[in-house]
């Protein structure tokens, strides 16, 4: 169906009417009924490189239904469309290694290259053409089979609303099958109606926009509050603004809660291994942070061995870090700690010395500087819920990973022979030994298990923060705080305490600052321990109550 809506010498009114007609054809007429010849005729008019012919050419290309139409218009809009001087052929130019690579916009095929832009002449556009192009491209987007592309087109139109775009949206909305796209269209139309001279229409639009979070909506409503001459319109605008502000506060709280849970997950992962060793053996392990650090460095080494498979390397690093840190933990217990049972101060000093040795070992063997650990593709980006709330994928994965590690450890402690022996030794070591439990073996395996969990925590931390020799020092104090607050040796207590402290810390940070928030949390824990010395979930058993 040829589009003859624009004449090269037509006035402004004829141009606008023709543009609206062309856009309605784009949006409402299926591609099967478009005339492919219009694409060639439109391209020929664009090649004349005169503003009048460009207007008609853009309308013909947009209504042609040709698969290359959108790419041609985007190139023209982006000032990437040129005429090759040698043969007056339309080409799209992009900088290459030796000059400029050319692409035929009519076929999408390569069209050679030129050494210099002097061999090309840019097809220039003015502001009126830019507006026409925006509307034409948006019209093509609205007829695209992919709802995401249609939604992107509506979003682009909201940012550059004009009368032609509003007419296009009104014509297209009754036939739009996707609810999200239809909602965006409704928002765009209501936003455009805020400029209506009729106060009733403006009030109706404000009712439609109440609670809408798009930034353009908030700005337009604020302008009405300040400038609209009708008091009822200003009151309706104020009500709409209050509704939007209330939603913004809710989403801000949700975002803070999400960051609090992600911080809490890190604290739980860092502390849960310490809760086992501290609860069963009563050992204050100051080298726990360095075991976390070893897990992070294990991730780095695995990635160096698998540079082309970052996603798989992170998954492989989880068991690898567990084995590395677990083996180091067993060596520490067998080589040092077993000779110091019953002497907590000497144990503290010995493990502090071991932490310094491990730090220096990493500096010597790997690097004294931070090392890069890449995020896999499936942990990159964010889940965009709306225009004001997005949840980063790496933190979502860390929260899920924390719960998986907790569930696995809980099953080990409740459903295995080792878990039964660990609980027996932690509740009454003498009775467990009298029943035939080899407490020395349980101590070594328990320390190895707790150290392995610390290594797994290091894998998670490597995806959130810098990996360096001092990584563990940032979490050792927080780990002890979580263990003491939750109840020594209690897994549920560690989970509740870690998540609670993470959320409280994030809610305090906006008004107290990061440092003062940590101080306030520490003061709270000190006061809490004064009232409940054994934490939220105290351990049961004769030894625990002694």
pLDDT given for residue 133 in this prediction: 81
Report the alpha-carbon distance of residue 264 to residue 240 in Å, rounded. 36
511 in the same domain as 402: yes
Element (H, E) at 103: strand 99-103
Task: Tell me what pLDDT residue 344 has.
Answer: 78
In a domain, 237, yes or no: no
Residue 265 lies in a domain: yes
Is the same domain home to 198 and 307? no
Q: Does residue 523 lie in a domain region?
A: yes
Beta bridge partners of 103: 92, 110
Same domain, 68 and 115: yes
121 and 255 fall within a common domain: no
Amino acid 308: pLDDT:
82
Please give the pLDDT value at position 163: 73
Q: Determine contact, residues 396/383, Cβ cutoff 8 Å.
A: yes
Residues 42 and 78 in one domain: yes
Are residue 224 and residue 256 in the same domain, yes or no? no
Q: Which domain holds residue 174?
A: 144-229
Strands across the sheet containing 120-122? 110-114, 99-103, 89-96, 81-84, 120-122
The pLDDT assigned to 326 comes to 92
324 and 255 Cβ atoms separated by less than 8 Å: no
- pLDDT tens digits for range 316-361: 999 999 999 999 999 998 888 888 877 878 888 898 999 999 999 9
User: Do 267 and 221 fall within a single domain?
Assistant: no
Give pLDDT < 70 ranges for the chain: 1-36, 279-280, 427, 489, 539-546
Q: Are residues 306 and 166 in the same domain?
A: no
Of 119, 137, 155, the residue at which a domain comes to its end is: 137
Q: Which of 170, 198, 229 is the last residue of a domain?
A: 229
- DSSP string of 497-515? HHHHHHHHHHHHHHHH-HH
Same domain, 212 and 270: no
In a domain, 383, yes or no: no
Instruction: For residue 94, tell me if it sits in a domain.
Output: yes
Query: Does pTM top 0.75 for this prediction?
Result: no
3-class DSSP state for residue 116? coil
203 in any annotated domain: yes
Question: Based on the domain organization, do 416 and 527 belong to the same domain?
Answer: yes
User: Rounded distance, CA 60 to CA 207, Å?
Assistant: 39
Q: What is the CATH number of the domain that holds 486?
A: 1.10.3470
Instruction: Classify residue 388: in a domain, yes or no.
Output: no
In a shared domain, residues 159 and 112: no
Q: What's the number of domains the chain is made of? A: 3
Whether residue 271 sits in one domain with residue 207: no
Query: Does residue 6 belong to any structural domain of this protein?
Result: no
Please give the pLDDT value at position 4.
35
pLDDT averaged over the chain?
81
Q: Which of 166, 200, 229 is the last residue of a domain?
A: 229
């Amino acid at each position: 169906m040829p589009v003859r809506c624009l004449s090269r010498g037509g006035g402004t009114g004829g141009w606008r009417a023709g543009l609206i007609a062309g856009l309605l054809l784009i949006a409402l007429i299926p591609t099967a009924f478009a005339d492919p010849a219009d694409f060639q005729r439109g391209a020929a008019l664009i090649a004349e490189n005169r503003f009048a012919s460009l207007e008609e050419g853009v309308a013909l290309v947009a209504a042609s239904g040709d698969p290359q139409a959108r790419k041609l218009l985007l190139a023209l809009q982006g000032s990437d469309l040129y005429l090759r001087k040698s043969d007056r052929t339309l080409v799209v130019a992009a900088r290459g290694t030796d000059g400029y690579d050319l692409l035929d916009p009519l076929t999408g095929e390569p069209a050679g290259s030129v050494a210099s832009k002097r061999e090309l002449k840019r097809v220039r556009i003015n502001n009126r053409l830019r507006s026409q192009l925006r509307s034409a491209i948006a019209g093509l987007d609205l007829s695209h089979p992919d709802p995401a592309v249609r939604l992107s087109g509506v979003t682009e139109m909201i940012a550059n609303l004009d009368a032609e775009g509003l007419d296009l949206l009104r014509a297209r909305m009754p036939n739009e099958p996707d609810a999200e796209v239809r909602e965006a269209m409704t928002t765009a139309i209501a936003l455009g109606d805020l400029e209506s001279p009729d106060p009733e229409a403006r009030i109706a639009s404000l009712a439609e926009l109440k609670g809408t979070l798009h930034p353009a909506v908030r700005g337009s409503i604020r302008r009405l509050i300040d400038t609209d001459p009708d008091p009822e319109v200003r009151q309706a605008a104020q009500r709409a603004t209050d509704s939007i502000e209330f939603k913004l506060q809710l989403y801000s709280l949700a975002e803070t809660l999400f960051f609090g849970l992600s911080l809490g997950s890190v604290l739980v992962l860092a502390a849960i291994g310490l809760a086992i060793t501290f609860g069963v053996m009563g050992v204050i392990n100051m080298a726990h942070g360095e075991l976390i650090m070893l897990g992070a460095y294990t991730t780095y080494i695995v990635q160096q061995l698998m540079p082309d498979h970052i996603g798989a390397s992170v998954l492989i690093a989880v068991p690898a870090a567990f084995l590395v840190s677990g083996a180091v933990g067993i060596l520490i217990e067998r080589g040092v700690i077993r000779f110091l049972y019953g002497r907590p101060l000497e144990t503290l000093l010995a493990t502090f010395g071991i932490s310094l040795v491990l730090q220096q070992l990493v500096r010597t063997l790997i690097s004294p500087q931070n090392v890069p650990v890449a995020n896999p593709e499936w942990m990159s980006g964010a889940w965009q819920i709306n225009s004001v709330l997005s949840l980063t994928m790496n933190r979502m994965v860390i929260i899920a990973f924390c719960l998986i590690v907790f569930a696995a450890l809980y099953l080990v402690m409740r459903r295995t022979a080792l878990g039964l022996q660990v609980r027996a030794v932690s509740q009454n070591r003498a009775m467990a030994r009298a029943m035939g439990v080899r407490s020395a073996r349980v101590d070594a395996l328990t320390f190895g298990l707790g150290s392995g969990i610390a290594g797994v925590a290091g894998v998670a931390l490597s995806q959130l923060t810098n990996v360096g020799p001092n990584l563990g020092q940032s979490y050792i104090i927080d780990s002890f705080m979580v263990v003491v607050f939750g109840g020594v040796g209690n897994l549920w207590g560690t989970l509740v305490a870690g998540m609670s402290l993470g959320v409280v810390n994030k809610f305090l940070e906006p008004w107290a600052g990061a440092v003062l928030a940590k101080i306030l949390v520490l003061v709270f824990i000190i006061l809490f321990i004064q009232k409940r010395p054994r934490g939220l979930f105290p351990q049961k058993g004769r030894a625990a109550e002694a």
